[in-house]
Amino acid sequence: MWTLHRTGPFPEDESRIAVPVHVPEPARGLRVALLGCGVVGTEVARMLLDQGADLAARVGAPLELAGIAVRDADRPRDAVIPRDLLTEDVESLVDDADIVIEVMGGIEPARGLLLRAIESGAAVVTANKALLAADGPTLYKAADSAGVDIYYEAAVAGAIPIVRPVRESLAGDYVRRVLGIVNGTTNYVLDQMATSGLDLEEAVKQAQELGYAEADPTADVEGYDAAAKAAILASLAFHTRVSADDVAREGITGVTPDDVAWAARTGHALKLLAIAEQTGEGVSVRVHPALVPLEHPLAGVKGAFNAIFVEADAAGPLMFYGQGAGGRPTASAVLGDVVSAARHRVLGGKGPQESIYAARPLLPADAAVTRYQVRLLVADLPGVLAQVAGVVGDHGVSIDTMRQTGPSEGTAELLLTTHAAREASLAATIAAVRNLEPVREITSVLRVEG
């Protein structure tokens, strides 16, 4: 639209000069499609509807919630969800959207729907860590080819901003290591075992009653959820493609109350950690229970909270802490991505693309280097300590400390803490120690991190 603008006062006998000034048309509203209306989807819808004026001011255009795709539109919903927005025709909703938010989870149909959205020119915001860890590169490539944004802050640690800091704020730095508690369910379970004396089954049941764990807690307690998040973080931090299949994974189902008690006795907290690090040899990514010294910040993370510790050359150690799950915290991260994508629609520009220039080799699980705490029952006989220490040394593993508890019915318990050693060397050491005649049982092998 063009209009005439008077540049100043003119004498009556002087001709007026018409100066064309461009007045932009008001920005049209952006149509937002929401796929999924579970706990997170409901909170995303609530925030879009309740904060519409503020969001429009931040973006520069109104955000219109065009529809919410669900499997069953007749199912009872939270009263905040307008019934007329619910639809089972997800394809039509996606085809007519400017921004598609996916919080339905799972691999399919989520992958097909997001690819359809990208092909139709929509920006994509997803919280789907399983999909990104399994086939993120397909989505990234499609988004790059179509010239649209793909954002996924909510996929890793709920409300905690970690994707953007690693991908953007630390883009000029060299990240050496990322380790953290990225699953609130397992952290709650281990915390209850430590503070309330519950066994694993009791603690998981309590987590389910509080809504921290699903009816089937396998993805949490077996480490699958944490492994997916570790893969995403490693890919971002090390500019190398890492999938969930590349992550060495061990859950907490083998953790006993004795393990938790011994952790406290030796000045540690037992946590399920996601660990990604790069060395001169390549990239190692793993998820497993670990002993964390009480003086380390991660040891103090309680309940269902998450925390991620990043070690970078120039920035030094950084810690990100907060609520890693739940409807409102996760919705906060989703809406942050929506605002970024929407701003690019209104003002131009594009978010970061996948960065895989480094293409570091991915190391096998047995190449990881860490310290270990080993507990074993042995016959209470002279020379047993020396015999065990000799076998450990023969396999190239150095002992930091060794202690023995009092004998009971002819047996004694040994606690060994090693210096840093390769996983392969430790595994060979454990096999050799187990075959010693005085050794009755290897009670526990736990890594020491941090």
| Mean pLDDT confidence for 318-328 | 91
Q: Over the stretch 137-193, which tens digit does the pLDDT of each residue have?
A: 999 999 999 999 999 999 999 899 999 999 999 999 999 999 999 999 999 999 999
Whether the per-residue pLDDT at 91 is higher than 60: the answer is yes
Average of pLDDT values for 15-35? 65
Please state whether the peptide bond connecting residue 26 to the residue before it is cis, i.e. omega within 30 degrees of 0.
no
Task: Please state, in angstroms and rounded to a whole number, the distance separating the CA atoms of residues 310 and 423.
Answer: 23
Residue 229 bears catalytic tag: yes
Beta strand ranges found along 304-450 (DSSP E): 305-312, 316-323, 369-379, 399-404, 411-418, 421-422, 439-448
**Choice among 229, 271, 302, 350 that is catalytic:** 229
Whole-model pTM?
A: 0.90
Q: Is the pLDDT of residue 277 over 80?
A: yes
- pLDDT tens-digit map of 379-397: 988 899 999 999 999 999 9
pLDDT(349) > 70: yes
pLDDT at 405: 79
Query: What confidence category does residue 410 fall into, taking pLDDT thresholds of 50, 70 and 90?
Result: confident
In sequence order, the 6+-apart residues with CB closer than 8 A to the CB of 329 are 158, 159, 322, 323
Q: Is the pLDDT of residue 279 over 60?
A: yes
The pLDDT assigned to 192 comes to: 96
Q: Is the pLDDT of residue 25 over 80?
A: no
Q: Six-digit token pair at 25?
A: 């048309």
Token pair in block for residue 98: 């400017």
Shortest CA distance to 286 belongs to which of 385, 171, 180, 199?
Answer: 180
Alpha-carbon gap, residue 114 to 126, rounded angstroms: 9
Query: Strand, helix or coil at 185?
Result: helix
Phi, psi angle pair for 418, to nearest 5°: -100, 165
Give the other-Cβ count within 10 Å of 265's Cβ: 10
Beta-bridge mates of residue 178: 276, 310
Q: Which pLDDT belongs to residue 14?
A: 45
Average pLDDT of the residues of the chain: 92
Whether residue 23 has pLDDT greater than 80: no
The pLDDT value given to residue 27: 60
Q: Is the pLDDT of residue 12 over 90?
A: no
∠ CA(149), CA(151), CA(155), 5° rounding?
160
List pLDDT tens digits, range 266-276.
999 999 999 99
